[in-house]
Amino acid sequence: MSMKAFELVPAIERAKLIADKIKTQIECLDVCGKNLYIGTADCFVFHYCIEERNIGGRTTFYSEKQGQKYLGLKKAIVQIKAASALNRIMVLCDNTFTLLNMFDLEPVYSGAKIKGVNYFCLNENPANPNPFSIEICVALKKKQLQVFTILEDKIIHNKDLSIPEPATIIGVDEKHVCAALTTQYCIIEIDTGNIQDLFPFDTEYVNPVVKKVTKDEFLLSGPSALGMFVTSAGISQRPPMQWSDNLVSVSCVHPYIVAMNDEFITIHSILDQQQKQAIPFQGGVFMNDFDGKLFIASSREIYSLVPVAFEKQIQALLADKRVTEALELAENAHSTGMTKDKFMKMYRRIQQQAGFIEFTQQHFEEARDLFIKGQVDVREIICLYPKMMPTGSNFTRSSPALHEIPDITVLTKNNETLTAEYIYFLQSYLEEIRNTKLSIGLKQEIDVALLKLYAENNSPELIPLLISETSCDLADCVECLERYQRHHALALLHKHHSENDRALAIWSKLVNGELTDNSFPGFKFVIEFLANLNNHELVWKYIDWALEKDEELGVQILTERPVNEPPSERLRPDAVIDYLHRFPLAVINYLEYLVFQKKLEKEKYHTHLAVLYLDKVLNLLKNSSVRKEEIDMARSKLRHMLQISSLYRVQLILGKTKETDMHAECAILYGKLEEHDKALRILVHKLKDYGAAENYCLVNSQGREPAYRKRLFHILLSVYLDSSYERKDTLVAPAMSLLNSNVADFDTVKVLQLLPDSWSVSLLSQFLTRAMRKSMHTSRMTRVERMMARGENLSIKQECIELQQEPVIMTEDRNCAVCNRPYSEPTFIRYPNGVVTHVHCAKNKYICPVTGKLFRTQKSNPS
Amino acid sequence: MSGKRKPDLKVIIMGDYAVGKTSLVCRYIEDKFIKHEPTIGAAFFLKQWGPYNVAVWDTAGDERYTGLSHFYCRNAGAAILAYDMSNPQTFESLWARFMPLLNSSTEKCLKIVVGTKMDLIPPEERDITLEEGRKLAHELNEGLDISKLACEPYFETSSKDGSHVSEVFECIFQYCLPLSGDQRSKFGLSTSTVDLYEKEPKRATAKKGCC
């Protein structure tokens, strides 16, 4: 137990006392300001002046004798107490309570005294405080307590309190007396005299002690050397303390309870009731606290127990690795009157020190908490790990040092598992604080250390660290990443520092297999990077390599450009197409990108793409071993292109397709040329795809007036019914289904003219009924519309008439309602509420400029 | 320390030497079963019960501290009288030694009899029957309206395996400082009653999350 809460310092030494009188034996003493009074066993009162001096952190006492007085009774002076307010000292000798002058030690003139007194006690906290009197309570030899008010020369008796047994020792606080009777303790209420028993004790074993510790709380010595806390309500709010036997005296200096027996002074904390310190001290006869100062007397000497500064106590505890106690003590130091800032500074430093102590003991959980709470400078931790600090850092450890660890190798002693634990701690700690306020201004150190840690143990976190907003320094980390062959990470680091060329050099080596790194995501990653790279020179440098590696992926560099990239000369489409000549696949992809994605409307690209598609189809057709699906795919692509675009040179394509039997394509091309008859004939006669023919009509009439659509369907119908076609019988069924189709649209009269006379009415009944109905419907709807329009017309007329009903009389002295000037022109504005203004003064015809009234902007529906 | 709020309820645990009083409190407060040195004088625990503070005083069973027990009983709202189920003598001394002490506690002090070390004794070898225990518990609480009490004022516990330990304390707290179902759930305490008006059973909400 090396905690030091107090130091024993001599106050008045033996030599000084012996010089006065050989036989002098101290019995009691009192300290009041600089005055120290001693009562001796041979009835002397000594008066000393004592001064506390603090030299170089050490407390010493300087004393000078002021006077002495023999009370002439040959009995010991049992109690002595100064009452500075009255300039008196109170003395108990031979069971008699008397008053002496504080300075010359002469008895008071009145000779006031109380006889038959066992013990007296000052009420430091009386119910009716008065600066010119004090209140005491005395325990008489008979079964009675008495309360007195003491004036300079008078003792006024206030109250008697009877008790079941005589009291030996009492304590007083405000309205309560706690008394040790001969066999038990009790609490007596002064006003009512009510007695509450506390607990019994055996005088044979227990030396009764009553000590007021805080307001309304007493400390008593209980059986088996227990220190019992009792409130004035007679209950206990703290667990008892264990003392040793033969207790002599107890004092209290917050937060400590100091107890003295014949061999030791023991110090307990009132907070946890645990013993904190023991000081060997033999032959102690008296101890008490005076305004927070503790004095102890043996029979010949006087000492003071000087509290060791909180900081010193805490440092002693920390040196002893008693972290919890140190922190608890530090927390309580808050109540010692430090300012909040100062306290927090001190407390944080202690937490940091404590953190490092836990750290050395591998209590990582605790260390982590303390580091975070103590807001330790993270560099203090990083610098313990060799080579973890950035090389350029000029960090020096705080002074005075927070710890005595040169670096962790001293702690781990080359034990591998231990080293791993320490490294893991650093990593998890850094990860935890990385985005908190503890990392402000220290991001570089944290990120560099994390990078080195990740690189070393090949952590999957390495890549995310570099992708996110990282503050890794370049020079320092390159070496580390190279050493552990984290090539991809190295490239990312270069990229982060905008050294894209270097990054690409590493990546191209990774793709080529010259380097390997498991974390490298592959070729696609490089393509993506190049596609988003805004340095087009660099793009050109690598595009050749990328295209040779894989044409389709490589061209993505050009096609997946960022949406809002400004156009540049290097990436001008013409130049790119020229360049891509060598790579047929890439050209197609690039043209598709231009035509379909960028929607460039340049005939050249569209024709080029169409020709390329067509060439591809033709090539496939020539080669008989090609699977049919592949041809279909290529053709459908071509058809799609031909259909949606109308910018390519149709004649050119048509010239090429006509020579082959690609009828579907021809049909589309004819459609583009508006040669619908030809197109439909191909669809009907060659392909016999009637659905496609109907669809053709719909597609080609999209976005045109209904008459155009009717015309197209009519052409189709006439193709079906063309009598020159040798197999026209086969086309009756599709013609009928077209007539009855829901999507088709016809001019009924023209259809009837076209239909062969030989067809029966029953065959056409469905078509005719529908045509009739439709015609009827249109006629009726038109009538309805007409009538509604008429109604609307009427109601507007009515409104107009109403508005014009009243005359507006304009005279010369009538002024504009807005500008209040006369009218100079014949035109004016009249609002429906009668306000008349200039034309130019009427800003809004729906809002009256004078009243701000809003007129209906729309006639509401009559319903 | 003077600023410390006065506890709203004082519960005292009494019983013969080594019946397992400290183990009982420790199991409840810390949910641990460890070896304890004999208690000196008394020990003190604070427990939050909803918005209330409950002070649990664990007294020393040793006979030389009997004088103190009387003092520690003062103002107790409830007393736990513990006896060792494997030692019938400790049951006797509840009657003989501890009952008189309770006169100094508040008049309406609830007395709960608790048998400890249930794990040590097979049911067929018991000396004290369940009925005897209950009888004593009811006698002790004579003149007290215990109809409010949710259960019998008699428990048989084992601090080693933790059985019935928290029931003892929660039964007392609920009697002395009743909490409504709302309060209980607010402070994260288990609710023994089924709340019909609860909007949705918790299980159902958990299920929702899985798809």
Inside any domain, residue A385:
no
pLDDT at B41: 80
CA gap A208, A234 in Å, rounded:
17
How many CB atoms lie under 10 A from the CB of residue A333? 20
Distance CA A135, CA A151 (A): 9
A89 bridge partner residues: A82, A100
With contacts defined as CB-CB under 8 Å, which chain B residues touch A226? 40-41, 68
Query: What is the average pLDDT across A838-855?
Result: 84
Residue B205: pLDDT above 60?
Answer: no
Query: What would the mean pLDDT of A765-774 be, rounded to a whole number?
Result: 86
CB pair distance less than 8 Å for A201 and B67: yes
R_g of chain A, CA atoms, integer Å: 55
C-beta atoms of A240 and B4 within 8 A: no
Cβ(A808)–Cβ(A830) below 8 Å: yes
Q: Which two tokens stand for residue A41?
A: 């066993």
CB within 8 Å: A236 and B67: no
Instruction: Write down the pLDDT at residue A120.
Output: 94
Q: Chain A: give the shortest CA distance to residue B44, in Å.
A: 6
Residue A861 has pLDDT above 70, yes or no: no
* Domain total of chain A: 2
pLDDT tens-digit series, residues A508-527: 888 887 777 777 777 888 88
The number of helix segments (H) and strand segments (E) in chain A equals 29, 30
Question: Model confidence over B1-54: pLDDT tens digits?
Answer: 333 467 888 899 999 888 989 999 999 888 888 888 888 888 888 888 888 889
Partners of residue A29 on adjacent β-strands: A38
Cβ A53 vs Cβ A40: under 8 Å: no
pLDDT at A20: 58
pLDDT of residue A857: 62
Q: How confident is the model at residue B210 (pLDDT cuts 50, 70, 90)?
A: very low
| A226/B74 Cβ within 8 A | no
- Token pair for A131: 């600066």
Q: Could B65 and A200 be called an inter-chain contact, meaning their C-beta atoms sit closer than 8 Å?
A: no
- Using DSSP's 3-state secondary structure scheme, residue A740 falls into coil
Which pLDDT belongs to residue A791? 95
Task: Look at residue B194 in the predicted model and tell me its pLDDT.
Answer: 47
List the Cα angle A298/A300/A304 in 5-degree steps. Answer: 50
Find the residue in A nearest to B75 (Cα). A235
pLDDT of the residue at A558: 74
Q: What is the CATH number of the domain that holds A829?
A: 3.30.40
The DSSP-derived string for A423-464 is: HHHHHHHHHHHTTSGGGTT-HHHHHHHHHHHHHHHT-TTHHH
B85/A655: higher pLDDT? B85
Instruction: Give residue A258's Cα distance to chain centre.
Output: 46
pLDDT at B52: 87
Of A222, A237, A270, nearest to B68 by CB-CB distance is A222
Q: Determine the distance in angstroms separating the CA of A549 from the nearest CA of chain B, rounded to an integer.
A: 44
* pLDDT of amino acid B2: 38
pLDDT band for position A863 (cuts 50, 70, 90)? very low
Using an 8 Å CB-CB cutoff, list chain B residues near A237: 4, 6, 55
pLDDT at position A336, please?
60
Which chain A residue has the Cα nearest residue B105? Answer: A235
**CA distance linking residue A273 with residue A213, whole number of Å:** 13
The answer to whether the beta carbons of residues A617 and A631 sit under 8 Å apart is: yes
Specify if A354 maps to a domain.
Answer: no
Question: Is residue A855, in this structure, part of any structural domain at all?
Answer: yes
Q: Decide: A73 and A80 in contact? Cβ < 8 Å.
A: no
Q: What is the DSSP string of A185-237?
A: EEEEETTT--EEEEEE--TTT----EEEEETTEEEEEEGGGEEEEEETTS---
A43 or A331, higher pLDDT: A43
Task: Give contacts of A199 with chain B, Cβ < 8 Å.
Answer: 67-68, 70-71
Q: Which of A252, A287, A308 is the last residue of a domain?
A: A308
Quick check: is A300 in a domain?
A: yes
DSSP three-state, residue A184: strand
Query: With an 8 Å Cβ cutoff, are A239 and B70 in contact?
Result: no
First to last CA, chain A: 99
Residues 6+ apart with CB under 8 A from B22: B36, B39, B43, B58
Average pLDDT over residues A615-635: 78
**Confidence band (pLDDT; 50, 70, 90) for B202?**
very low
Q: How far apart are the first and last CA of chain B?
A: 54
> Between the CA of residue A118 and those of A55, A179, A784, what are the distances in Å?
42, 12, 124
For residue A226, what is the nearest residue in chain B, using CA coordinates?
B41
Radius of gyration of chain B (CA): 18
CB A105 within 8 Å of CB A68: yes
**B1 contact residues in A (CB cutoff 8 A):** 214, 238, 270-271
Q: What is the pLDDT of residues A526-571, one digit of tens each?
A: 888 777 777 777 777 787 787 777 777 777 777 777 777 777 777 7
Average pLDDT of the residues in B64-68: 81
The C-alpha atoms of residue A614 and residue A627 are separated, in whole angstroms, by 17
Highest-pLDDT range among A277-291, A535-549, A822-836 = A277-291
- pLDDT of res. A644: 76
Q: Are A324 and A330 in contact (CB under 8 A)?
A: no
- Is B3 touching A (CB cutoff 8 A)? no
In a domain, A661, yes or no: no
Contact B71 A214 (CB under 8 A): no
Q: Which of A132-146, A197-211, A339-353, A626-640 ranks highest by mean pLDDT?
A: A132-146
Give yes or no for a contact between A520 and A503, defined as CB atoms under 8 angstroms apart.
Answer: no
Chain B residues closer than 8 Å to A201 by CB: 67
> A863: buried, middle or exposed (CB in 10 Å: 19+, 13-18, 0-12)?
exposed
- Kindly state whether B40 is in contact with chain A, defined as any CB-CB distance less than 8 angstroms: yes
Q: Is residue A84 part of a domain?
A: yes
**In b/e form, how buried is each residue of A200-223, taking b as 16+ CB within 10 angstroms?**
bbeeeebbbbbbbbeebbbbbbbb
| pLDDT at residue number A512 | 80
Q: Are A308 and A256 in contact (CB under 8 A)?
A: no
ipTM above 0.85, yes or no: no
pLDDT of amino acid A582 = 75
Using one digit for the tens of pLDDT, what is the confidence trace for A54-107? Answer: 877 788 888 888 888 888 888 899 999 998 888 999 999 999 999 999 988 999
* Mean pLDDT confidence for A439-460: 78
- In sequence order, the 6+-apart residues with CB closer than 8 A to the CB of B58 are B13, B21, B22, B25, B39, B42, B43, B44, B45
Decide if A242 and B68 are in contact by the 8 Å CB cutoff: no
pLDDT at A786: 96
Bigger pLDDT: A143 vs A58:
A143
pLDDT of res. A207: 87
pLDDT of residue A168: 92
Q: What pLDDT score does A334 carry? A: 62
Q: Nearest CA to A176 among A185, A184, A187, A192?
A: A187
Whether A854 has a pLDDT exceeding 80, the answer reads: yes
Q: In what order do the strands lie in the sheet with B78-84?
A: B42-49, B52-59, B9-15, B78-84, B110-116, B154-156
d(CA B209, CA A856): 53
Domain end marker among A270, A292, A308: A308
Cβ burial A483-504 (10 Å sphere, 16+ → b, else e): ebebbbbbbbbbbbbeebebbb
- 3-class SS of residue A23: coil
Distance from CA of A566 to the nearest CA of B (A): 46
CB contact under 8 A, B41 and A200: no
- A523-531 and A536-549 helices, crossing angle to 10°: 150
Q: Lowest mean pLDDT: which of A58-62, A472-476, A573-577, A641-645?
A: A472-476
pLDDT value at A797 more than 90: yes
Residues 226-245 of A with CB under 8 A from B: 226, 228, 230, 233-240, 242
Q: How many CA atoms lie within 13 A of A567 on its CB side?
A: 7
Q: DSSP readout, A257-312?
A: EEEEESSEEEEEETTT--EEEEEE--SEEEEEEETTEEEEEESS-EEEEEEPPHHH
Give the mean pLDDT of A696-704: 78
Q: Length of chain B, please?
A: 211
Which range (A255-264, A578-587, B166-175) has the least confidence? Answer: A578-587
* pLDDT winner (highest mean) among A36-40, A279-283, A369-373, A790-794: A790-794
Q: Supply the CATH number for residue A241's domain.
A: 2.130.10.10
Domains of chain B, residue spans: 9-208
Per CATH, domain B9-208 is 1.10.40.50? no
Name the least confident of A380-389, A652-661, B174-183.
Answer: A652-661
pLDDT tens for each residue of B112-168: 999 999 888 888 888 888 888 888 888 888 877 777 777 888 999 999 888 888 889
Phi, psi dihedrals of residue A246, rounded to the nearest 5°: 55, 45
E strand residue ranges, A57-133: 58-70, 77-83, 88-93, 96-101, 113-114, 117-123
Q: Share the mean pLDDT of chain A.
A: 82
A253 touching B (Cβ < 8 Å): no
Given A293, A308, A323, the domain boundary residue is A308
Task: Give the structural domain span for A86.
Answer: 6-308
